[in-house]
Amino acid sequence: MSDVQTEIMPEGAVSMKEGKLSNFWKDFRKKKPALISFYFIILLFIITLIGPYIVPYDPAAPDYNKVLESPSLQHLFGTDSFGRDILSRLAVGARISLTVSISAVLLGALVGTFLGLISGFFGKWVDRAIMRVCDVLFAFPDLILAIGIVAILGPGLKNVVIAVAFFSIPSFARIVRSATLETKEMLFVEATRSIGASNKRMIWKHIFPETVPTIIVYFTMKVGTAILAAASLSFLGLGAEPSSPDWGAMLSNSRDYIDSSFHLVFFPGLIIFLTVLAFNLLGDGLRDVLDPKTKD
């Protein structure tokens, strides 16, 4: 029995992956703010990779002849209280900020996704237990929680990663849980159960892929928050060492000069602001394209 319809589009062998990606790109390109943010973030990543090799000055070498110079052609962003070039320091510091925030969110997303899947899929007391713990964590403001954790573990970038990851867990758990609850009720999950699939298979092969777009969107937005949190912790002296070119630490070191040398605070602040904004706008754009349901 040959079906007419099956013979339509024999050349439809366009790889699905390609088709999906090009579709995504076509939609995404229309989101101008997100697109610009995307390029900005790409630029940041490039700087992260090659920054240390192309910066005009050694970010750590003091130059006591050029202390607190205003922006000029030689030092585009000026110099700090030790005569170090701020542009070079920001470029090198991008590595610290991005590494810390992305690894923290990645860690939080891993644990949160796992908890969310378990919680949403099994429901009942598992769900209640996990969600109540998350509620407790939610009750603390993010930064206060992070400060508390760093206070327990001691200052340092590694502990900042742990602290930021820790406060990302409940929000990932909750968002993945709701996506799981929705997917769990879908017919194809029931269909997989009717052929005898184990819970593990249903979760990982069928439910998890459905939650990925939500996770990607949320991940992007959370990176912005994490950059801010990491900078705040460094500003408070709980993160990076004061001498390192971390953005938050730079802000912290320069706050004494806010009256006399405005550029010292301005440029680190600006770069933090732009980076966080870029991640948030990118997240918004990705959400509109990947996960339009969750739009508020």
Return the range that interacts with another protein (CB under 8 A); candidates 70-78, 98-106, 205-213, 220-228. Answer: 205-213
Is residue 292 a contact point for another protein (CB under 8 A)? no
Regarding 139 and contact with another protein (CB under 8 A), the answer is no
Residue 124 as a binder of another protein (CB under 8 A): the answer is no
Does residue 237 touch another protein according to CB under 8 A? no
The least distance separating another protein from the CB of residue 130, rounded to whole angstroms, comes to 19
Number of Cβ atoms within 10 Å of the Cβ of 141: 10
CA of 143: how far to CAs of 132, 156, 235, 271, in Å?
Answer: 20, 16, 12, 20
25 vs 19: CA distance, rounded Å = 10
- Please identify which residue in 16, 65, 200, 293 interacts with another protein, judged by CB under 8 A: 16
Q: Residues 41, 282: contact at Cβ < 8 Å?
A: yes
Given the structure tokens 């076509």, which residue do they identify? 26
Residues 177 and 165: their CA atoms lie apart, in Å, by 18
CB of residue 185 to another protein, shortest distance in Å:
10
- As separate numbers, helices (DSSP H) first and strands (DSSP E) second, the chain gives 11, 0
Looking at the Cβ atoms of 206 and 222, the one nearer to another protein is: 206
- Our CB check for another protein shows the closer of 25 and 273 to be 25
Interaction between residue 293 and another protein (CB under 8 A): no
Minimum CB–partner distance for residue 215 and another protein (Å): 14
Determine the size of the site formed for another protein (CB under 8 A).
28
Q: Is 206 in the site for another protein (CB under 8 A)?
A: yes
The nearer residue to another protein, 7 or 259, going by C-beta atoms, is 7
Query: Of 79, 86, 45, which Cα lies nearest the Cα of 64?
Result: 79
CB of 115 to another protein, least distance (A): 22
Is 241 a binding residue for another protein by CB under 8 A? The answer is: no
* Cβ neighbours of 225 (radius 10 Å): 22
Instruction: Identify the helix (H) or strand (E) that includes residue 212.
Output: helix 208-235
Q: Which is nearer to another protein, 128 or 255 (CB)?
A: 128
Q: x/- site string to another protein, residues 165 to 204, per CB under 8 A? A: ---------------------xxx-xxxxxxxxx--x---
179-184-189 Cα angle (round to 5): 130
Residue 154 or 196: the one with the smaller Cβ distance to another protein is 196
Contacts of 257 (CB under 8 A, 6+ apart): 68, 81, 264, 265
In the complex, the smallest distance separating the C-beta of residue 197 from another protein, rounded to whole angstroms, is 6
Distance CA 250, CA 101 (A): 17
Other C-beta atoms within 10 Å of 173: how many? 27
Give the residue with the Cβ less far from another protein, 5 or 260.
Answer: 5
CA 99/CA 225 separation, integer angstroms? 14
Tell me which of 45, 210, 269, 294 binds another protein, using CB under 8 A: 210
Give me the residues that bind another protein (CB under 8 A), please.
1-3, 5-7, 10, 12-13, 15-16, 186-188, 190-198, 201, 205-206, 209-210
